Structure 1
């Protein structure tokens, strides 16, 4: 059995002149060497070779199609556009890999990748045909086909197929999480919209000398209440006032703060100040 030497450090008691202290002691020990994982090595080798094929294909296609397009446009623009032909199907394969646990959604990038490959191969062959080297054009087109085929095989080596029931379970859990993630920007947009509407109403009421609140009394505030100066009122103070008034919901606090400030309050800023109050 193969072994390897490792160092192990531990605290051991050491006594000098009757006084004991814990000191570090270094010990070299032999531990069994785990067997080589040939499957992992082969899988990594396949991935590296697939990346090499894709790189070669991208370089060849860019050079070939760039030379073809340079007949009509500036060379820099032509070669820049040439990158797009192979980059298109490479992009589709990357998206297909990300959606490997969602077969239905992966169908679209898979089909788009096949069509992008056909277009790229046709353009490479057209370049060879126009230059009178149709054999070179056909061989160059085959480079993209080999690269895509090699990457497809590499993806299969890394794939972890799911049985139908597990796939349905994953799809439902993902849908639930995606719904929660989608609601985050929706709620923020609604809060900002409501705050802007209230701020607009307050601004119009201030211009006309009236009140934006239909439930407010025409007689104004009681004589023993000192009105708040909005020019000196900060968001932090407005959040504190709303908290002391018993308002706990974040959306309600944002609306209350916006009304007190006379402008739209940032939901993120309000939430930060609310966390201070909740932790107190």
Structure 2
């Protein structure tokens, strides 16, 4: 068995004066070499041949068709248009390869590639027939046919054959992935439309007359139930009533409770008379009595 030498770096413990550290060290190992994959080498070789054939075919077809078209159009435009003849069927062949897991879609690309190839071969044959005769035209057109045929054989060999069920399964997988991918632009368009509607509404509201701002209503004071009138209290009719006189009138009316006297005095004077003043006058009246 063939082997190949390989040097690897690794960390190993190394101790000096009782202190150990991990230091790098190299190690040489010999790994087995797998046998050559001649099948893959053959595929790579054929793929290279196909690439060279396509380049040669495209160069020859472009030169031939470009010379034919340059008889009636300027050379740059003629050769630019001539390159499209081969690029058309080459592009269809690439799409056919990409759609190898969906045979229905690959069939359309295959048919389009053969149609484009027939047009290119016809153009090359026409130039050869005009320039050198029928044989020259047929041989020149065969170059494109050989390149296309070789590529078709390579693609058909590398494409994995799928059963009907496998193909249906992969088509459903691709369909679900396509739906998820399609949601991105659709969601973007929906969000943009909603933003435009919202902006339109705000613009219309800003252009309209502004509504007058109403003052906030003052908080209502809590309702207090009125105290029932005291039958023993008679309000005094006068312009100015002093606290001492109001206490005297309450005393003469037979009121002795300080709370009742205080309410009477505040009602008579219309002031927030302190309770200490009322009690002082009441003490004086009790002492005199």
Q: Say whether the fold is shared (TM-score over 0.5).
A: yes
Alignment of 1:128-277 (within 5 A): 128-209=128-209
Structure number with greater Rg is: 2
Instruction: Give the equivalent residue in structure 2 for 1:114.
Output: 114
Question: How far does residue 223 in structure 1 lie from its aligned partner after superposition?
Answer: 5.7
Q: Cα RMSD between the aligned structures? A: 1.9
Instruction: Give the equivalent residue in structure 2 for 1:100.
Output: 100
Whether the 8 Å contact between 1:43 and 1:157 is mirrored in structure 2 is no
User: Counterparts of 2:214 and 2:95 in 1: how far apart (Å)?
Assistant: 61
Instruction: Give the equivalent residue in structure 1 for 2:71.
Output: 71
User: Counterparts of 1:177 and 1:71 in 2: how far apart (Å)?
Assistant: 50
Question: How far does residue 111 in structure 1 lie from its aligned partner after superposition?
Answer: 0.5
Q: 1:68 to 1:24 in 2, by over 3 A?
A: same
Any unmatched runs of 5+ in structure 1?
A: 211-217, 225-280
**Runs of 4+ that moved beyond 6 A:** 218-222
User: Counterparts of 2:29 and 2:166 in 1: how far apart (Å)?
Assistant: 45
- Aligned residue-pair number: 217
Instruction: Give the equivalent residue in structure 1 for 2:284.
Output: none
Question: How far does residue 220 in structure 1 lie from its aligned partner after superposition?
Answer: 6.7
Instruction: Give the equivalent residue in structure 1 for 2:81.
Output: 81
Instruction: Give the equivalent residue in structure 2 for 1:30.
Output: 30
User: Counterparts of 1:24 and 1:223 in 2: how far apart (Å)?
Assistant: 81
Instruction: Give the equivalent residue in structure 2 for 1:48.
Output: 48
User: Counterparts of 1:221 and 1:98 in 2: how far apart (Å)?
Assistant: 70
* Residues 135-190 of structure 1: CA deviation (Å, up to 9, x unaligned): 22211111100111111122123211222222111111111111111121011101
Q: 1:140 to 1:220 in 2, by over 3 A?
A: farther
Any unmatched runs of 5+ in structure 2?
A: 218-289
Q: 1:222 to 1:202 in 2, by over 3 A?
A: farther
User: Counterparts of 2:214 and 2:121 in 1: how far apart (Å)?
Assistant: 78
Q: 1:222 to 1:203 in 2, by over 3 A?
A: farther
Question: How far does residue 133 in structure 1 lie from its aligned partner after superposition?
Answer: 3.1
Q: 1:24 to 1:69 in 2, by over 3 A?
A: same
User: Counterparts of 1:102 and 1:222 in 2: how far apart (Å)?
Assistant: 72
* Residues 94-134 of structure 1: CA deviation (Å, up to 9, x unaligned): 11111110001111111010000000000000001111333
Instruction: Give the equivalent residue in structure 2 for 1:232.
Output: none
